Structure 1
Amino acid sequence: MLPFRIIDRIKFIVERQLVKGAGFQLLVVGVFIGLISLIGGLLVVPQGGAFDDIGSAIWWAFLRLTDPGYLGDDVGTWQRFVSTLLTISGYVVFMGTLVAILTRWLIAKMADLERGLTPVTLKNHIVVLGWTSQTLPLLSELLSSSGRVRRFLEKHDAQTLNLVVLSEHASAGQVHELRNEPGIRGKARQVILRSGLAIQPDALNRVACLDAAAVIVPSAAHEAGTLVTSDVETVKALLSIAAQARHFGAPLPFVVAEIQDIRKHPVIERAYPGAVEVVGGDATISRLMVQNILHPGLSEIYNELLTAGEGNEIYVRGGESIAGMTLGELAAQRPLAIVLGILKPKGNSWDVRLMAPSDTPIEMADRVIMLARDYSETEANLKLPSLPTITHGGAGRYLRKTADRPRTILVLGWNRRVPSLIAEFGSYAGQMFNVDIVSVVPAAERERDITRYLQDRQEVTCRHIEADYMVEDELRKVNPADYDAVILLSSDRLASGEEADARAMVGYLQLEDLLAESPHRPQLIMELSDPDNRHLLSGHQSEMMISPMILSHVLAQVALRRELRVVLDELFTAGGAEIQFRDPRDYPLPASVDFHLLERILSERGELALGVFRHGADVDGRRLELNPPRKCFLDLQPDDQLVVLANT
């Protein structure tokens, strides 16, 4: 047994050297080459003649081992036999093993480079911590916001917008996704991928987090019931950034963080002592859904204002270049934009004054809120004639009509957003809602989650139905046609957004078949999780909300213009200014009216005209005409509605 133990010991020693990496592997190969050369030299030394000493013989053996071209120079049977063995050994050890080691080392190095483990040497860039369903639309938003990006680069004295994404496992597949994403494609070279987690100091250093102009922390998806939620990950990421800044004595970067539970807002501010803007993901989508139920058709406005593409957006302009003017004078000189209001400094925050009086003076520290198709339309253009000034004394007060009965809402599906949705229903005083929730999730679990989130919900009555809406007989028993509105939710309990959306879309098509049998059709709102599915049901009658695209737009625009967050909160929460629909017959409109005259008539009631919502869709399926040309005659048809901004 002793010889075998010695062999095992030698094999173990060789193994421990080989696993240390390419350097030690090359050292072992070099030792083997030396041993083979020594043995080959000792075998031919007794022949004498051609070798003056042992060194010459070893050199002879080394040359045969490394270069088979010397094989024909040998004389004598023994030399030829030894040189043949050396040449064969050279092919195995010198050529085969050496090339294999170098090839494996090169492949490993290339894989490391593809994984993104090299620290970036950038400053004033934008860092996105996490690769989620929102990352691609978020990057697309950042790369397509030309006007805001230009001002962002000027502010930070940068030439090019560089985006660095920290992904748990950066790969060539993600690069392929970047190149195929609409809005990125050829701009993918501006996006740099790095591997790691936001809670790892080395990973934060890898993306040069402390040198960034802005850091965006989108919310990640987690399985239902897990103790480590997306909000926990967000707080840990912010604590890691703050700890790294303390370690290096560096200033904290500006952070835009998304959280699901808006109640954790104070926790975020305690975790991160630097400049931070918090976007409530669940709260934002819940607000939009409830407002869309109160004002059916509002989703088309949200999809224009809060997603990338053609159409209007909300812009915030600094008061430096327009100080001394009034809001009315500014509106007259910007014929392609609509002035929505003004932001006044208030401590470390802003006082949002939507529909402020037209004689409000603009000061250097103020910010003006405007609606336009492009940032250039918010700038002065001497080629465009000024409009007649419209004088209004500020926002009037619109009393929301109290329904004679509670609104009935049917929710198909369940996800973490439902408790926030119930809380948003309850925030509208004077409005009563009866909400029936259909899901395969046990009713006790759903009731527990809602109770934890919302203790008092007097305005909302919830009824839980345990059923699978994908089964036609179970859905038919619920009688969807008896409700005022039906909401189809994308589940967060499935493996991917594609699977969740597939379930929601199949459920929608099945719901359409049932509603076709009834004379009454409720309002349909469908939530999707995968932006790639946005065109699949574009020809159907439901109102569609793609949560990742909306939240990505908000995160991107707030990162480029911080003040935009308070504007969106004011615009999309209960109370204050809201986007609403009005019947044209409620106003003294002439038979033929252009948009500028409509603005003047609505201003007399303290309202702001934004556009027209047509009863019939155009050839592209669009019904919304937001911010039309001032001199364009609206040609209002029966059942058309006016889009206005009014206080409630």
Structure 2
Amino acid sequence: MASRRTPLGDRARYWFDSTLTRGVPALVGWLAVLCLVVVVPASAVVVWTDPNAPAPLPARLVQVWRLTGETLRLGGATGAPLRVMLSVLLALVALLYVSTLVGLVTTALTERLLELRRGRSTVVERGHAVVLGWSEQVFTVVGELVAANANQRRAAVAVLADRDKTEMEEALSTKVGPGGPTRLICRSGPTTDPAVLALTNPAEAGVVVVLPHDEPDADAQVVKTLLAVRAGLPDPDSGPPVVAAVRDERYRLAASLAAGPNGVVLESDTISASLIVQAARRPGLSLIHRELLDFAGDEFYLISEPALIGRSFGDALLSYTTSSVVGLMRGHVPLLSPPSHTPIGRDDMLVVISRDDDTIHWEDCSPLVEKSAMASEQPSPARPERVLLLGWNRRAPLVVDQLRRCARPGSAVDVVAEDADVTLREVDDADREFGAGLALTLRRGDATHPDTLRDLDIESYDSVIVLGRDPGHASDEPDMRTLVTLLLLHRMERAAGCELRVVTELIDDRNRALAPTGPRADVIVSGELIGLLMAQISQNRHLAGVFEELFSAEGNGAHLRPASEYVLPGHATPFATVVAAARQRGECAIGYRSHADSSQGPAYGIRINPPKTETRCWSVRDEVLIVGKG
């Protein structure tokens, strides 16, 4: 068989590629050839078209050489060959020197620019907020800090994480938006290195926030970060306030010791479980918690009121028209919804819900109370509850524990989960540990499969809790399965013509808008709520105890109760009457839920901190929002 002749062009290209593999000398040679191929003909054209060029050919060639030499910086000297060679040599030496100098300067500038791009300069701000770590919560925390600083002339938030500085800046700019008077500063590096932490100037910061993340060693990293913060302070016991969160309660003591006397450490999983259970028992509470935790609406404040010193706490409940009193701060101990006869001491501070700190004005509202409109209906006794738990994750045992704490004898929790999500031993352990007064059973099944839900008597349950898989699960995005389960439950609701009390835990807040929900459904985005809570405490760490009691199962939390237990249905009366009726029951009324508006988002009829002067006609299906015992 005759061999095929290789085309000349392919052979030339192959020969050229082969020469390039010989390294820098070949590249320099080809560059010189290319320059000469372009410069020499162009110089010849310039000389031959010059009317003043000498006529003899040798003289014109000399002109071409000079023009070529000037263009390529080769000197262009003429005369004896040795003279020309030395001229070229000197020009090459000068070119090498200049090129090397330019290269060194360019390299130094590039390294400096890269260092600045990586965020290696020290922050010189004072009183700024330092956020350490990177997770989905960073956008919530930074966004809330920006909102809290909206009325400041100048503020700063420094974020340190082991990520590219430019990527962090772009992400914050996209999700948080304009910072207004708040300057957002990003620095890149590990948060556990004291030398890197010094870039954020934590010693002169107003607060340091350590974010948790979803990696397996998240809690250990939080403890190491807190130790690194203290190691970089001149006086570890007098540093700035520190707010951190751990997932596992076993790490809370170590984290608290590492945070120092000015530190506040939260248990994120326990708080999330408590919020899930509270929302399961009373739909709408997640919206209330969100409203109380963000800086956009009403929030908690600690104030002193000289006019109320020596008077009872019950008098304080009707002393503010546009603010709601919910408790006392006695020393560092919060007393939410204490007995009405509790005297207000000189050093006591009132725990108040208000739109802003400048909207808290003392004014006696007791004349607004209409005692004739107050109801005498007694609350119905609590009964055993049946809860359906779809899915299992690391917070599921904590959810079961929170359900047990307030469960009546005869209550039951049915768990539906796959083999990959939970083992029988895990359920048995939870049953033994939390089983008093609460029966816990496990049913194998996939909650995303219609047959699994169809086999359950969904309507017989008082509430349904849908838990997603933990982030990092090998199968898929955790929220994907949760959304599928919600779609199936929504379909069953429509088919049965009933409304299920469904509480869903989502990981990503962006999926909230995708979740099919209704008036009796709540969506809990655990990470977002923890971020809101950390931002609130970062502005006033004394509120940590207030929130801890508000979210605990045994404490005085937020509850929705039938309005008929407080005011007579069909009567138009000011909200001050509701506050007075709640006071007689040892509770603090802070809002209501209108049944007529309960199907309209985004508030679904919930009104927090209405003016005491607001008059409305109360229906039998309205609800009153109170702070008190569950």
TM-score, length basis structure 2: 0.78
Amino acid at match of 1:418: A
Instruction: Provide the rounded CA distance (Å) in 1 between the counterparts of 2:83 and 2:467.
Output: 83
Amino acid at match of 1:554: L
| Aligned mate of 1:503, from 453, 474, 481 | 481
Cα–Cα, structure 1 residues 545 and 616, in superposed 2: closer, same or farther, change >3 Å?
farther
Tell me, what secondary structure is at the counterpart of 1:593? Answer: strand
Deviations 1:268-288 (A, max 9, x none): 333444222121111111111
After superposition, the CA RMSD in angstroms is 3.7
Whether the 8 Å CA contact 2:69–2:76 is kept in 1: the answer is no
Instruction: Provide the rounded CA distance (Å) in 2 between the counterparts of 1:400 and 1:273.
Output: 46
| Aligned mate of 1:238, from 216, 222, 226 | 226
Cα–Cα, structure 1 residues 468 and 88, in superposed 2: closer, same or farther, change >3 Å?
farther
Greater gyration radius? 2
Whether the 8 Å CA contact 2:129–2:157 is kept in 1: the answer is yes
Alignment of 1:611-626 (within 5 A): 611-617=591-597, 620-622=601-603, 623-626=605-608
Alignment of 1:454-465 (within 5 A): 455-465=433-443
1:523 aligns with 2:501: yes
1:120 aligns with 2:142: no
Instruction: Provide the rounded CA distance (Å) in 1 between the counterparts of 2:305 and 2:475.
Output: 42
Provide the residue aligned with 2:333 in structure 1. Answer: 350
Deviations 1:525-584 (A, max 9, x none): 111222233333476453111212211111111111112111112222223423222323
Whether the 8 Å CA contact 2:129–2:156 is kept in 1: the answer is yes
Tell me, what secondary structure is at the counterpart of 1:535? Answer: helix
Provide the residue aligned with 1:108 in structure 2. Answer: 111
Provide the residue aligned with 1:571 in structure 2. Answer: 550
Amino acid at match of 1:626: I
1:280 aligns with 2:260: no
Tell me, what secondary structure is at the counterpart of 2:433? Answer: coil
Deviations 1:353-392 (A, max 9, x none): 42442673342x3221111222221245xxxx6523689x
Cα–Cα, structure 1 residues 516 and 281, in superposed 2: closer, same or farther, change >3 Å?
same
Cα–Cα, structure 1 residues 249 and 601, in superposed 2: closer, same or farther, change >3 Å?
closer
Provide the residue aligned with 1:266 in structure 2. Answer: 253
1:638 deviation in Å? 4.3
Instruction: Provide the rounded CA distance (Å) in 2 between the counterparts of 1:133 and 1:432.
Output: 40
Cα–Cα, structure 1 residues 638 and 323, in superposed 2: closer, same or farther, change >3 Å?
closer
Cα–Cα, structure 1 residues 83 and 415, in superposed 2: closer, same or farther, change >3 Å?
farther
Provide the residue aligned with 1:195 in structure 2. Answer: 188
Instruction: Provide the rounded CA distance (Å) in 1 between the counterparts of 2:379 and 2:614.
Output: 31
Tell me, what secondary structure is at the counterpart of 2:291? Answer: helix
1:295 aligns with 2:278: no
1:205 aligns with 2:198: yes
Whether the 8 Å CA contact 1:295–1:581 is kept in 2: the answer is yes
Cα–Cα, structure 1 residues 451 and 341, in superposed 2: closer, same or farther, change >3 Å?
same
Alignment of 1:317-466 (within 5 A): 317-318=303-304, 327=313, 332-345=318-331, 349-357=332-340, 360-363=343-346, 365-379=347-361, 386-388=364-366, 401-403=381-383, 405=384, 407-430=385-408, 432-442=410-420, 445=423, 447-448=425-426, 451=429, 455-466=433-444
Instruction: Provide the rounded CA distance (Å) in 2 between the counterparts of 1:473 and 1:74.
Output: 96
| Aligned mate of 2:171, from 158, 172, 177 | 177
Cα–Cα, structure 1 residues 379 and 112, in superposed 2: closer, same or farther, change >3 Å?
farther
Provide the residue aligned with 1:636 in structure 2. Answer: 618
| Aligned mate of 2:539, from 553, 560, 569 | 560
1:71 aligns with 2:75: yes
Tell me, what secondary structure is at the counterpart of 1:508? Answer: helix
Alignment of 1:64-103 (within 5 A): 68=72, 71-80=75-84, 83-84=87-88, 87=91, 93=96, 99-103=102-106
Instruction: Provide the rounded CA distance (Å) in 2 between the counterparts of 1:131 and 1:478.
Output: 41
Deviations 1:471-516 (A, max 9, x none): 3334434454443222222322437999322332233123322333
Provide the residue aligned with 2:148 in structure 1. Answer: 145
Aligned residues: 555
| Aligned mate of 1:494, from 453, 472, 475 | 472
Instruction: Provide the rounded CA distance (Å) in 2 between the counterparts of 1:468 and 1:249.
Output: 51
Deviations 1:239-276 (A, max 9, x none): 33334447x77733321121212354333333444222
Instruction: Provide the rounded CA distance (Å) in 1 between the counterparts of 2:468 and 2:579.
Output: 39
Whether the 8 Å CA contact 2:505–2:524 is kept in 1: the answer is yes
Instruction: Provide the rounded CA distance (Å) in 2 between the counterparts of 1:544 and 1:498.
Output: 20
* Percent of paired sites with the same residue: 24
Whether the 8 Å CA contact 1:68–1:87 is kept in 2: the answer is no
Cα–Cα, structure 1 residues 289 and 452, in superposed 2: closer, same or farther, change >3 Å?
closer
1:643 deviation in Å? 1.9
Cα–Cα, structure 1 residues 275 and 539, in superposed 2: closer, same or farther, change >3 Å?
same
Cα–Cα, structure 1 residues 174 and 146, in superposed 2: closer, same or farther, change >3 Å?
closer
Tell me, what secondary structure is at the counterpart of 1:180? Answer: helix
